[in-house]
Amino acid sequence: MTFSLLQFGCGNMGGAMLAGWLAAGFDPAAFTVVDPVLAQAPAGVALLREAPADAAPADVVLLGFKPQQLSASAAAVSPHLGEGTLLLSILAGVDLATLRRLFPRAAGIVRVMPNLAAAIGKSPIALFGDATGPARERTEALMAPLGPAEWLAQEDEMDLVTALAGSGPAFVYRFIDALAEAASALGLPRSQADRLALAMVEGAAALAAASPHAPGELARRVASPGGVTQVGLDVLDADQRLVALLTDTLRGARDRSAEMTRQARS
């Protein structure tokens, strides 16, 4: 795939996507990053402190700065959009209508919600936009090296998917940390508990990804009636406490995403 991609902002998430594309073998010369503070771009990737005023429209433009910078950055982005330009946005809380109003010249606009595992090609990616035909095909080709991508049927699903797939790694990290802390409280040295908890989650996730069975069934298969694992599962399952906790967690994150969307519209 031959293309030019102009990336505005290269923070943690934009940097992870760029790393994933480069790891997949994309030509570094295809990428130009515009970032006033980035210390260094990956080898072969052009780094500019501000967008050139006289450049031709790019094939793909990625918005990777903070959502609150959108208004101030729109004037710099617009000249690089043409009738054939695909605009990708990872700006949480900025809806398609806002993007289309600010950037009417783009051929297609797609909201993209990945997570940091894009750097290793393991991120779930939610997509929603108005890209059709070649623009949609290009979107899917660009997302493929970063992880499995799914198009959403309705834009308001993006808030919940943001909570699940975008924020989800932080919740998993907190769970790993809590497992280790619990084991430490019960007598294991903390450094050893950290290593065991991390290795256990890594192996369990890999097995779940490779298994034909759903995670709930895998949990049942690990447990024996009246055994050690079943006693632990009974604690987690009592009064649906784990499901209730995670429902509250996702609800809070979803509602914050929806609040950010409303603020961006106003």
| CATH code for the domain in which residue 217 is found | 1.10.3730.10
For range 96-102, the mean pLDDT: 95
**pTM listed for this prediction:** 0.87
Select from 100, 123, 153 the last residue of a domain: 153
* pLDDT value of position 1: 63
Rounded to whole angstroms, the Cα distance separating 93 from 128 reads 13
Instruction: Answer yes or no: do 139 and 180 share one domain.
Output: no
Dihedral sign, Cα of residue 172, residue 12, residue 141, residue 146? negative
Provide the domain limits for residue 201: 168-260
Average model confidence (pLDDT) across the chain: 94
**pLDDT tens for residues 101-142?**
999 999 999 999 999 999 999 999 999 999 999 999 999 999
Please report which confidence band the pLDDT of residue 93 belongs to, taking 50, 70 and 90 as the band edges: confident
Alpha helix positions (H), the chain: 12-23, 70-77, 96-102, 133-143, 157-161, 168-185, 190-210, 215-222, 228-237, 241-265
Question: What DSSP designation does 56 have?
Answer: P
Helix (H, G, I), strand (E, B) or coil at 62: strand
How many other C-beta atoms can be found within 10 angstroms of the C-beta atom of residue 175?
A: 13
Flag whether 118 is in a domain.
yes
Instruction: Answer yes or no: do 221 and 132 share one domain.
Output: no
